[in-house]
Chain A
Amino acid sequence: QVQLVQSGAEVKKPGASVKVSCKTSGYTFTGYYIHWVRQAPGQGLEWLGWINSNSGGIKYAQKFQGRVTMTRDTSISTAYMELSRLRSDDTAVYYCAKDGSDASIAAAGTLPIDYWGQGTLVTVSS
Chain B
Amino acid sequence: ETTLTQSPAFMSATPGDKVNISCKASQDIDDDMNWYQQKPGEAPIFIIQEATTLVPGIPPRFSGSGYGTDFTLTINNIESEDAAYYFCLQHDNFPLTFGQGTKVEIK
Contacts and interface: CB of A to CB of B under 8 A. Distances in A.
* Pair from one complex: yes
A24 to B, nearest CB: 12
Contacts of B46: 112-115
Interface string A52-63: 000000010110
Interface residues of B, number: 24
B7 interface: no
Nearest to B4: A44
How many chain A residues sit at the interface, stated as a range, is 20 to 34
Overall SS of chain B's interface: loop
Contacts of B32: 112
B43 A45 contact: no
Interface of B: 32, 34, 36, 41-46, 49-50, 55, 87, 89, 91, 93-101
7 contacts: A45-B89, A109-B96, A110-B91, A113-B34, A113-B96, A114-B49, A115-B43
